[in-house]
Amino acid sequence: MLIRLGDREADPIDLAMSCPDMSLAVVGAIHDNKDRSNRLFEIRLCAPGELVDLVPEPKNPFDPSAIAIFSVRGIQIGYVSAERCGWIGARMAQGEEIRGIFQEAVEGGAIIRISFSGEDPVLPPPRAVKVERADTEEDSGFYPDYIPPDD
């Protein structure tokens, strides 16, 4: 099967091999490591752009295609999601150099950015953060129930 790209045709396998940088969710961050170190704490220490290591775990009893993610300090922060680890692991097994960097901390985990070119990936622009003001004058709609006196 060929895919038409403008005036030329491309094989889908070739397209998959020339992937741009991509962002991946780090899963399993809420669990402690075997040495009892806290993954969420380590994630909070990571800065955007720090290198991360992707390490296949073929002897993982839950998923032989699991890929662990380690911070620049050598502490595990989680795993590549099950949906992506098979595909990424296959590319690593073929000798492709996949490089990763820490992108951002999110609630309950993190996002990393990987590159298939053998070069460090490029961080995307930061997401806009919605700031909520605590000193708002608007009515929140919350009214406590009346508590009668103890007579």
Q: Does domain 18-113 have CATH number 2.60.260.20?
A: no
Name the burial class of residue 41, with classes exposed (0-12), middle (13-18) and buried (19+) by CB atoms within 10 angstroms of its CB.
exposed
Of the candidates 44, 45, 93, 41, the residue with the CA atom closest to the CA atom of residue 65: 93
Q: What is the pLDDT of residue 117?
A: 85
Domain ranges for the chain, please list them: 18-113
State which residues of the chain have pLDDT below 50. 1-6, 10, 12-13, 15-16
CA pair distance 110, 78, nearest whole angstrom: 9
Residue 72 CA: distances (Å) to CA of 13, 50, 54, 151: 32, 7, 11, 65
Strands (E), 13-98: 22-27, 51-56, 67-70, 76-80
Q: Tell me, what's the pLDDT at 146?
A: 79
In this predicted structure, what is the pLDDT of residue 3?
43
**Model pTM greater than 0.85?**
no
DSSP state of 16: H
In this prediction, residue 4 carries a pLDDT of 46
Strand partners, 53: 70
